Amino acid sequence: MRRNFSTLDIVFSNMEERTLKDTINTTINPIEYKYTADGFRDIGTRAAMIADGYLFLRYYVGPCAVNLSFSCELYMKAMINDVNLHEHSLKKLFNKLDDNRQRDVRIEYDKIPCNLEFMECFETHDNAFIKWRYLGEYRDKETKSIDRESLVNLARALSIVCEREIQNGKDK
């Protein structure tokens, strides 16, 4: 009988003197974060296209906001590379990036004209992941609107910079 190996099996087989808890709590794999973020970005972008195309599918706006903002969060966490970072604020995460990374993200964002300026995009979508995933708990006016085009572009810009860094080995 053929056995499928899980991630846990691989972690156990690669461990020497470290415990499983130590392995999980001290390592982050930026490549896994980046490609997981790509999945959230793809789903969020598709939801944005559906929400833009049909008025009666406005219910896709929430999944769009959640998936795109979470992808932005994961891209930045991959570049920050800190397992103890438990933050959803896009502004706070962006401010943790070094100046060169911030500059590179801004350059990529500015390549595509959007409704929102670069920092305005962070202001508008700062805690979108939290607010939109629990939409019923947040009834303020700000929660009810996002700029899908700008958020798609921010996720795209972060993806490009993150990918470039992985290819150049800066994540190590």
Residue 134 lies in a domain: yes
pLDDT at 55: 56
CA 164 to chain centre: 16
Does residue 10 fall inside a structural domain? no
What is the mean pLDDT of each successive set of 10 residues along the chain, which is 172 residues long? 41 43 58 92 90 67 91 95 86 96 98 95 91 69 73 97 89 48
pLDDT at 4: 43
**Residue ranges making up the domain that contains 91:** 29-168
Q: Are 151 and 69 in contact (CB under 8 A)?
A: yes
Give the model's pLDDT for residue 48: 86
Counting runs of H as helices and runs of E as strands, what totals does the chain give?
9, 0
For position 133, which CATH number holds? 1.20.120
